[in-house]
Amino acid sequence: MKKLFHFDAPRDKCHCDATIKIAGGAKVLASPEHESDREFDPDQIRKFIRWHSTKRVILMLLSDCGAYGGLAAGFHDDADAEAVHHEPELHRAAANLRTATPGVEVQGYFVNFEGIWNAEIGIGNGFQEATAA
């Protein structure tokens, strides 16, 4: 194998400030294709938290995500409709994750081709207003 980067890191237990989720982002926590998927993800997150002393989970949904059918098929190329749809998805995902993993801090973001929008989970009306501006 060819070494690409060099760094010196301690070999004691790895501590991570946050974990970022899998392909499809928060969808599996908000609206999974199979109900069994809703438990698999939190189980993986709980393991990561236990192994790496993580206190925060960052949930992300990406514009044109294939898990939602993409922008064209899933939202008829309507970026505003996609953003409106994804905000409550992030809120649902966060609520489900908090129920499955009490005490974890959850942040949610929608990433499109213009920027990153904070869903302001638990605070209120996040990026809907920002995308309309």
Percent of the chain with pLDDT over 70: 80
Please state the domain extents for the chain: 42-132
Question: What pTM, to 2 d.p., does this model score?
Answer: 0.77
What local confidence, expressed as pLDDT, does residue 72 receive? 93
Whether the pLDDT of residue 24 is over 60: the answer is: yes
Q: Answer yes or no: are the C-beta atoms of 56 and 103 closer than 8 Å.
A: no
Phi, psi values for residue 49, rounded to 5°: -60, -45
SS3 71: helix
In sequence order, the 6+-apart residues with CB closer than 8 A to the CB of 25 are: 59, 60, 61, 62, 65, 67
For 106, other C-beta atoms within 10 Å of its C-beta total 23
1: confidence class by pLDDT, cuts 50, 70, 90: confident
